[in-house]
Amino acid sequence: MKPGNLAPVFTPGSNYLMGLAAMLRAAYYSVNLTPLGNELIAHLDTHPEDANALMDLSTILYMLGNREVAAATQTEALNLARFYQLPTAAGNEATLRVLALMVPGDFMANTPIEFLLEDSDVAVDLMYVIPGMPLPELVPDHDVLFISVGEAENTHTLLEQLAEETRDWPRPVLNRAEHTLKLSRDKVAGLLAGVSGICMPVTVRVERSVLEQIAAGEITPLSLLGDGDFPVIVRPVGSHAGHGLMKLPAASDVRAYLDNMQEEQFFISRFVDYSNDDGLFRKYRIVLVEGKPFLCHMAVSEHWMIHYLNAGMAENQAKRDEEAIAMAGFEEGFAKRHAAAFEQIYRKFGLDYVGIDCAETVEGDFLVFEVDTSMIVHGMDPVDLYPYKPAAMQKVFTAFRALLQRAIQPATTES
């Protein structure tokens, strides 16, 4: 069942963004955002300096797949303003203000913090930081600084810069930039190598020429990885959401893969068959909040490359029943089985909030696919199909709100 009134309403002259959460919720329920985009375009014809309208239009364009125009529109907005405000929930007076540092890009570039604080009493302000440009001397007042900038090829220098500029920040800082820098796929694999109970295959960054050598039979994956040979998993460096991700069983498949890819750098690792006895694959999305794990979804699929939206969960009651059982028993089951793994991940990465896409191997080890701060975590799923999800997701949102409160507690106590 679709909730009512999902289409975001544009209010000319508003001091607030409509925002990513409102847009993505509408798109999730198949609301056509093109009319809203056209309304924004018409407004901007007469009000070209409305940065909020430009930023919201950029979000719509990204969601519609018009990436080049979206990026250009976002740049126009950022040339006018680097600071944006999100509205607090209706009827809620803000009792805590978070300033989130954001990098230009689509909705996978930053921690989608507004999803975590929907319907809360927390005011979320966004300040965009531009690579190569220092932070402004004057920033909006706030109680907590949250570094939302995600790890990506184009953010490493910026994260290094932010690590220095926020080292002695006058307010509590969460998700410090130096920790986010550890989240490239090869660094994650390196940090988790040899940790008892954790399985993450060696991941190596290679140039296209190296894959050409594998395709020609001049070298083997084993010579690069040391922990396995074909089949291998290959993906372009910087790719997300499965773009360019393939399982390649043999050298001839590497050749065919390269013929269809233009990128120059790739990650390669051995393939781990994590299917269960029934032949199905199960992938979990878990977040750690101050090291405590919370299950956000579990997808069941016939294919090894799982995305929740294409796993057929909405169409299959048995899969949803299994997810409901997994969520209900998570703390006493999965979380307890892998408590040592979660503790090690928290200790090694040091992030206050981080997501993990993972599974269990047939041997029972904790299989890590990705550790990242920019994973979408939300409470948008229709309650009639997923009646078990609101309670599970509320645990995440409550824990995140408590994280913010604990960050400011020392200052509150001293005052």
Say yes or no to pLDDT of 8 above 80: yes
Among candidate residues 306, 308, 304, the one with its CA nearest the CA of residue 247:
304
Q: Are residues 285 and 403 in the same domain?
A: yes
Query: Cα–Cα distance between 196 and 203 in angstroms, integer?
Result: 18
Strand partners, 298: 284
pLDDT at 6 over 90: no
pLDDT at 413 over 90: no
Phi, psi angles (nearest 5°) of residue 203: -120, 125
**Angle between helices 185-192 and 339-349 in degrees, nearest 10:** 120
Residues 109 and 173 in one domain: yes
Residue 412 domain flag: no
Same domain, yes or no, for 126 and 143?
Answer: yes
Same domain, yes or no, for 72 and 87? no
**What's the rounded Cα separation, in Å, for the pair 368 and 379?**
24
Point out the domain boundary residue: 29, 64, 81.
81
Mean pLDDT of the chain: 94
With respect to residue 375, please indicate whether it lies within any of the assigned structural domains: yes
Does residue 72 sit in the same domain as residue 153? no
The pTM of the full predicted model, rounded to 2 decimals, is 0.95
Kindly give the residue spans of alpha helices, DSSP state H, lying in 155-229. Answer: 156-165, 177-180, 185-192, 208-215, 221-225
Check residue 274 and give its pLDDT: 97
340-357: pLDDT as tens digits: 999 999 999 999 999 999
- What would the mean pLDDT of 289-299 be, rounded to a whole number? 98
Residues 130, 135, 136, 140, CA torsion sign: positive
Residue 410 has what pLDDT? 64
pLDDT of residue 9: 92
Residue 212 domain flag: yes
Please say if the pLDDT value at position 245 is more than 90: yes
- Measured CA to CA, the distance from residue 106 to residue 72 in angstroms comes to 12
Find the length of the chain: 415
Long-range Cβ contacts of 395-400 (<8 Å, 24+ apart) = 395/294, 396/116, 396/287, 396/289, 396/294, 396/296, 397/116, 397/117, 397/118, 397/120, 399/289, 399/290, 399/292, 399/294, 400/116, 400/117, 400/289, 400/353
Distance CA 5, CA 364 (A): 45
| Averaged pLDDT, 118-144 | 92
Nearest to 121 by CA among 84, 89, 144: 89
Q: Which two tokens stand for residue 260?
A: 């269809």
Same domain, 58 and 7: yes
99 in the same domain as 158: yes
Proportion of the chain above pLDDT 70, given as a percent: 96
β-pairing, 366-372 with 353-360? antiparallel
Residue 315 and residue 289 in one domain: yes
Mark which of 247, 270, 293 sits at the end of a domain. 270
Number of domains in the chain: 4
* pLDDT of 415 over the 80 cut: no
Amino acid 380: pLDDT: 94
Tell me, yes or no, whether 192 lies in a domain.
no
Q: Which domain holds residue 61?
A: 1-81
For residue 1, what pLDDT is reported? 46
30, 58, 81 — which closes off a domain? 81
The tens digit of pLDDT for each residue in 182-200 reads 999 999 999 999 999 999 9
Average pLDDT over residues 138-146: 95
Q: Is the pLDDT of residue 312 over 60?
A: yes
Q: Where are the alpha helices (DSSP H) in 195-299?
A: 208-215, 221-225, 251-259
Straight-line distance from the first to the last Cα atom of the chain, in angstroms, rounded to the nearest whole number: 48
**Claim to verify: residue 128 and residue 245 sit in the same structural domain:** no
Same domain, 10 and 61: yes
Q: What is the largest CA-CA distance in the chain?
A: 68
Please indicate, yes or no, if residue 146 is contained in any of the structural domains. Answer: yes
CATH number of the CATH domain containing 371: 3.30.470.20
- Relative to beta strand 198-199, strand 366-372 is parallel
178 plus 287 within the same structural domain: no
| Higher-confidence position of 412 and 183 | 183
Residue 189 domain-assigned (yes or no): no
- Together in a domain, 400 and 309: yes
